[in-house]
Structure 1
Amino acid sequence: MNTAPFYASVMLAAGIGIPILAALNARLGQHMGSPVAAAVVLFVVAFLTATAVVLVAGPGALSQVTTAPRHLLLAGCLIAFYVLTITWIAPKFGVGNAVFFVLLGQLISAAAIDHFGLFGAQISPLSLARAAGIGVMALGVAITQMA
């Protein structure tokens, strides 16, 4: 079975969800009068959702966190940074603008991680075509800012 189409579909759905998350949480932050409080609510809902999934999938893997290298836990700080900043900035800058810059940052970071095999990632050298694609994306972001 070729799992690539399935993985691509799941990640496409996740990508579709990012701007929706940004718009919903930005609006919640406006409604509550506090982007930080809205982020807390988002994390509580996310925690409860993830907890339900891990209980169904089998909570045994959670015991492995005590032996994980501590730097791997910084991913939680990065998601908190993303949620806090998108909730705060999207209402002022626009969801599209905010997400476009997030996407540009993701492309740059992903290219560096793949090129150098950072964090145990499979090495995929930065080709001229990939660099050109990132450049085209950067140009696209710049064009959206001119409008």
Structure 2
Amino acid sequence: MNGAGAGLWLSVLMLVAGFGIPVMAALNSGLGVRLGSPVGAAFVLFVVGMLASGLVVLITGTTNPFRPVAPAGFWLGGFLVAFYVLSVTLAAPRIGVGNAIFLVLLGQLVSATAIDHFALFGAQRHPLTLTRALGLVLMACGVFLARHPG
């Protein structure tokens, strides 16, 4: 697949993944309420996610995903996923799925901009230009307005 085709496919993939995040938040927070335990709901989510990921590893023929090929810090992403899932599972029933996701999105915008600008964690550098900064401010304003309608 050429660069443009791959970029389009990956863009659609990320859009679909974005649709899934609030759905996951709503489902998992609902499970947490029904179980009486946000932590229990997060545990169930990770067990199901582990089984699904394990199936993909088997299907794709990935060999030993635990081999030490990166600095230990790169393994901390699992803790960040757990923190996110636990946080949204706890917060969404109290402040609403929309508010929880809007705040997560604002945090993502700021951290993604810093990661890109400073090429953190081995990411490709995309400097913060005036145009990108304006786009970030407009997106942050949109998140704020969506959180405070009317």
Q: TM-score range by the shorter chain?
A: over 0.9
- 1:42 corresponds in structure 2 to 45
Aligned with 1:132 (options 131, 134, 143): 134
Unpaired runs of 5+ residues, structure 1, are none
CA distance in 1, matches of 2:32, 2:108: 24
- TM-score w.r.t. length of structure 2: 0.92
Q: Aligned residue for 2:96?
A: 94
Give the match for residue 18 of structure 1: 21
In structure 2, how many angstroms separate the alpha carbons of the residues matched to 1:16 and 1:88?
20
| 3-state DSSP of counterpart to 1:124 | coil
Q: Distance in 2 between matches of 1:87 and 1:63?
A: 28
TM-score (norm 1): 0.94
Deviation string, structure 1 residues 100-142 (Cα, Å, up to 9, x no partner):
1111111111111111111111111001121112212222233
Q: Which amino acid aligns with 2:60?
A: A
Q: Which residue, out of 7, 19, 25, partners 1:4?
A: 7
Q: Distance in 1 between matches of 2:15 and 2:135?
A: 18
- Corresponding residue number in structure 2 for 1:108: 110
**Could you list the runs of 4 or more consecutive aligned residues of structure 1 that deviate by over 2 angstroms after TM superposition?**
140-147
2:143 corresponding residue in structure 1? 141
Structure 1 residues 58 and 104, CA gap change in structure 2 (3 angstroms): same
Q: % of aligned pairs identical?
A: 52
Q: Distance in 1 between matches of 2:44 and 2:110?
A: 30
One-letter amino acid of the structure 2 residue matched with residue 29 of structure 1: G
Map 1:42-81 → 2, pairs under 5 A: 42-64=45-67, 66-81=68-83
Structure ranking higher in helix proportion = 1
| TM-aligned CA deviation for residue 58 of structure 1 | 1.2
Q: Give the aligned CA root-mean-square deviation in angstroms.
A: 1.3
For residues 68-125 of structure 1, what are the alpha-carbon distances to aligned partners after superposition, in whole Å with 9 as ceiling and x for unaligned?
A: 3110110000000000000000011111111011111111111111111111111110
What is the total number of aligned residue pairs between the two structures?
A: 146
Q: Secondary structure at the match of 1:60?
A: coil
Contact 1:104 1:134 in 2 (8 A): no
